[in-house]
Structure formats: C-alpha cells, structure tokens
Chains A and B, each alone.
Chain A
C-alpha cells in the first residue's frame, strides 16, 4: 500500500543554518506529493506541493523536488529562521484519490 517515510526528529538548528528533511514514499501509481507544516497551536497548512516527476514545489524559501527515480521528496531551505520552528509532514495522494497518506512528522526547532 501507499506510505510515506520521513526523517525522524527532533531537529534543532541555529538560525541561518541549512535545512534538509528527508522524505521517501511508496506508491502503486503516480502520486502527488506535499509538505504540510503545523505551527504550535495551529492546524496543518499546505507548504508546497508537486504533482508529477521532476516538478519542484517552493514556498517561503522552502523547496522540494519530486524525484521518481529515488521515490523522494526532500524538503530544503537555505537559511532557516526562528519562525520556521514547527512540525513538518510529508504526504502523498495517489492519483485523483481523496485520501492523503502522511509521514510521522519532523519537529524542527530553530534557535537564535
């Protein structure tokens, strides 16, 4: 079945450090891939998405590239800020299906 595996946390970085959160997936078809972010006390928010191989999603300085050959969708940011402290979830949706499959989440804390 479909599933997502993402890097376990917690991750602690200093401000302006480079961030990578790894995400790999298993899917039977051609999924769309997503990164969601959950700030403390808030609901999940879509951060970025990619709907087909080699697409790059980007938002707020974050990027992720849909790599079919490695079944990966790693999240990166060149210079993190304290305000990026949150839990990040990688997710996939199979084709035009309704169901999202989420990873377990990676907690990021950025210290000044």
Chain B
C-alpha cells in the first residue's frame, strides 16, 4: 500500500515569503505528526494531530508556524514570513492509533530560505 507522501519534495523560498507544505498520511491513520530536521540533526517534534484535532503544538518554534488537518486526513504545515533559520527538512509521520504505536515517516520536504 501507499506510504506517507509529502509535497513538494523541495521548496526554495525568498525570505519573507509564505510557504505551505502538504502531508498525505497513510489512509486510516488517526495520528499525524510534524517534525523539523535541521542539517546534521535529528528530527524535532513540532505538532501532533489526532484526527482533525491538534492536541499538541508545543514544538512549533514561533507563531509564524501553523498546521491544520481539517478533515482528519491530509495536513498542511504553513510557515509565514519565512526566515533563513526555517531552512530544514520538514517530516510528516502518521500512525494507526492514538498515542503509542509505530510512526511511519514520509520522505520529507526540504525547505531552503534564501
């Protein structure tokens, strides 16, 4: 079956532009996670959804970052007024159940802010 997909795979933005990153989780997966992975670092948690509800957004680095999952499937991570420090790979993961359970990761979107 299809895994987690993300689009675009690569995004180049000028500083100050808004960007939107899309995640298509595995069909039927309840939980969805966003992570930010800076170069040479491990993924860092941004936010978590259970169905359409955003239950944890403690990892979002600023109010320029916003995530939504309005119908409980596809999710979008939006970054407003991008800054150079936002350059990273943004990973999406989904899992079948709430709470514990294996997370399946997408290939990521590499964002470069010039």
Query: Chain A residues in contact with chain B, CB under 8 A?
Result: 4, 32, 36, 41-46, 49, 89, 91, 93, 96-105
Assess whether B66 is interfacial by the CB under 8 Å rule.
no
Residues of B within 8 A of A98 (CB): 31, 33, 48, 55-56, 98-99
Are the CB atoms of B56 and A102 closer together than 8 Å? no
Question: B1: CB under 8 A from chain A?
Answer: no
- Interface residues, chain B, with chain A CB atoms under 8 Å away: 3-4, 31, 33, 35, 40-45, 48, 55-56, 59, 91, 93, 98-100, 102-108
How long is the Cα–Cα vector from A103 to B104 in the complex, in angstroms?
A: 18
Given A43-B104, A43-B107, A105-B42; 16 other pairs, CB 8 A cutoff: A43-B3, A43-B91, A44-B91, A44-B93, A45-B105, A46-B102, A49-B102, A89-B42, A93-B100, A98-B31, A98-B48, A98-B55, A98-B98, A100-B43, A102-B42, A105-B40
Interface residue from B40, B48, B105 paired with A43 (Cβ < 8 Å): B105
Cα distance, A46 to B93, chains bound together (Å): 12
Complexed CA–CA distance, A103 and B59 (Å): 16
- A105–B41 CB distance below 8 A: yes
